Amino acid sequence: MALVALVLTAFSLAAPAAYAALAPDNSAATQVLTWTAGDGYMGYTSAPTTAVAGPATIVFENSAATGNTTGMPHTLTFDTSNPDYNTDVSLNIQASPSDSSAGRHTAEVTLTPGVYHYYCAMPGHMMSGELTVTAAPGDDTTAPDTSASVSGTKDASGDYVDSATVTLSASDSGSGVDTIEYALDGAAYATYTDAVRVSGAGRHTLAYRATDKAGNTSAVKSVSFTVVAAPPEDTTPPETSATVSGTKDASGDYVSGATVTVTASDTGSGVAGIEYALDGGAYRDYTAPVLVSDVGRHTLAYRATDKAGNTSAVKSVSFTVVAAPPEDTTPPETSATVSGTKDASGDYVSGATVTVTASDTGSGVAGIEYALDGGAYRDYTAPVLVSDVGRHTLAYRATDKAGNTSAAQTVSFTVVAAPPQDTTPPEVSASVSGTKDASGNYVGGATVTVTASDSGSGVAATEYSLDGGPYLPYSAPVAVDRAGSHTFLYRATDKAGNTSAAKSLTLTVVDSKPPTNCPETDDRSTVFAGTLDTGIPNRVTTNGCTINELIEDHRAWASHGAFVSHVEKLVADLRNQGVVDQREAGDIKKAAGRCDVGKVHSAHTER
């Protein structure tokens, strides 16, 4: 047989990199070489034997998926100490199912022509092999080396009796052998795929040549020999073989029945007859393939006799027949869903995607079909995108492996064109109402009303912020009844995501009768916990009291823990009311924990 170098086809893998020498330019490898290991320690479960010089991704997997059920670690180590092999790749990957990569590792390397020796460095593991690397086709200018050998039965004169078999071989250390050709006795060249048997009596010459994958063809060589007629005596029994055919289940057993076909050949006197015996019974003449339909395990023995009386050794083939499952007469269940961006009317903007699913508890789903808007049915292989504007109806059905087809079902929907893109934020304005005094201040309180409009996608939300507080959703006019100067910010966002620039207004509220239901009076501009200033604005809360007044840090507390618990509950309520944001709530709680309110000191108690 020709020694043909195989090129591994590159494919993509995503796995963490292991330690190895990187390709000089760190470019992605053009080929992937995969080793796997399992429970065994006498050899890798799988390993490549050939590769092409250049960048390569080395994949080493020792996981449950590759047969490792014991958690045994293995390594993939390239030998760099033996001068009989390539030593330019330093690679030592240890993998086990329990490591951080679940036993799967990769490394990027650059291979050079020659042979690499690899092995498992774990003690007691007899796992090793060789990887032959050939040069890339574009770098090869040397033709293959070729040789031929003739085999057969010779007589005393050295001639081949009855026939001679010529075996050709070729090797190429560059791009690898592509084809071998031969020409017998001056005939046209033919492609060599297997040893050539020459049976005609007489003198013969077989010419041969080989071409590598870079297109280099070797010089023609030839081998000559003589074939003489075989003597009449036949002492060789026939060659026999058997094949089993039928429908298999998932376990490889034959459903309802199996057919055994026996063949025999004899190059001497010819086959006289074939016999078989089923499950230890008497031998019978074989005249046609044998159908075995009884459920159970079976063994069929067979033999053949040639016309010279030579009988072959008995061979056998074993198999299992199982009963057929109940007949499936129920069609698959089907359903469909439509997805996409809907407008206010429920129509799909720009396009809709229809996903069809089918299930069958009997023989299983064989295929799904769909028809759009009354067209011909097509095979469904992926969700169907419908982008034409208008009303659409998609019909669908499924067929199971027993040939049952479901009744067609339909789903209808409308696709509309996308509206022009909206890039303009809403228009927003605000007005203040209330009773003013001679200075223009609002007596007792003021009400701020915000309006927003958007001629594009429409207003999605309006927000406001009072006195530096967080923005809150605006749903109704805002009452500002705390005495003092106030700054009110407002903005709006449309459904396309455009947010208007924040606008602001200022107003002053005066009231000779401040709230009387606050625990204490504290108009400091920022929030304090004892003597610790948080820097957070001392805002008016929903009940008209400031944050400082509700903290009550001037009150006598039984303990520091009681004060801290009070503040934690208070800021949780203020957070829910939107008076403070998450960061501000956290800063106030931290200040309460660090302050001295409620602690007993040697000289006094802080109030």
Question: Helical H runs in 177-299?
Answer: none
Residue-level pLDDT at 380 = 98
Q: What whole-number distance in Å separates Cα of residue 286 and Cα of residue 133? A: 51
Taking domain 145-228, whether its CATH number is 2.60.40.10 is answered by yes
Element (H, E) at 448: strand 446-453
3-class secondary structure for 512-526? CCCCCCCCCCCCCCE
Beta bridge partners of 428: 452
Residue-level pLDDT at 17 = 33
Residues 32-134, CATH architecture: Sandwich (2.60)
Would the CATH topology of 32-134 be identical to that of 145-228?
A: yes
Q: Is the pTM of this model over 0.75?
A: no
Residue-level pLDDT at 544 = 76
Residues 199-210: pLDDT tens digits? 999 999 999 999
Asked if 242 and 319 touch (Cβ cutoff 8 Å), the reply is: no
Residues 333-416, CATH architecture: Sandwich (2.60)
Q: What whole-number distance in Å separates Cα of residue 268 and Cα of residue 232? A: 8
Tokens of 338: 């439509």
Which of 450, 447, 490 lies closest to 466, judged by CA? 490
Which of 144, 281, 296 lies closest to 208, judged by CA? 144
Which residues of the chain carry a pLDDT beneath 70? 1-29, 137-138, 231, 512-516, 601-607
Which of 363, 300, 290 lies closest to 332, judged by CA? 363
Pairing status of strand 446-453 against strand 478-480: antiparallel
The fold for domain 239-322 equals Immunoglobulin-like (2.60.40)
CA 64 and chain centroid, separation: 17
Q: What whole-number distance in Å separates Cα of residue 164 and Cα of residue 148? A: 12
Dihedral angle of Cα 120, 123, 127, 133, to the nearest 10 degrees: 30
Q: What whole-number distance in Å separates Cα of residue 162 and Cα of residue 198? A: 9
Asked if 213 and 178 touch (Cβ cutoff 8 Å), the reply is: yes
Domain boundaries along the sequence of the chain: 32-134, 145-228, 239-322, 333-416, 427-510, 526-594
Asked if 44 and 127 touch (Cβ cutoff 8 Å), the reply is: yes
Query: Dihedral of CA 321/326/327/328: which sign?
Result: negative
Asked if 63 and 106 touch (Cβ cutoff 8 Å), the reply is: no
Rg over alpha carbons for the chain, rounded to the nearest Å, is 44
Q: What whole-number distance in Å separates Cα of residue 568 and Cα of residue 574? A: 10
What DSSP designation does 568 have? H
Residue-level pLDDT at 515 = 53
Residue-level pLDDT at 140 = 79
Q: What whole-number distance in Å separates Cα of residue 278 and Cα of residue 244? A: 13
Helix (H, G, I), strand (E, B) or coil at 102: coil
Tokens of 308: 């010279």
Residue-level pLDDT at 513 = 54
Q: What whole-number distance in Å separates Cα of residue 545 and Cα of residue 535? A: 18
Asked if 342 and 352 touch (Cβ cutoff 8 Å), the reply is: no
Residue-level pLDDT at 512 = 52
Q: What whole-number distance in Å separates Cα of residue 383 and Cα of residue 389? A: 18
Q: What whole-number distance in Å separates Cα of residue 411 and Cα of residue 395? A: 7
CATH of 427-510, one of 2.60.40.10, 2.170.190.11, 3.10.520.10, 2.170.150.70: 2.60.40.10
Residues 412-463: pLDDT tens digits? 999 999 888 889 999 999 999 988 877 889 988 899 999 999 988 899 999 9
Dihedral angle of Cα 196, 200, 201, 203, to the nearest 10 degrees: -50
Residue-level pLDDT at 564 = 93
Q: In the Cβ-directed half-sphere of 430, how many Cα atoms lie within 13 Å?
A: 26
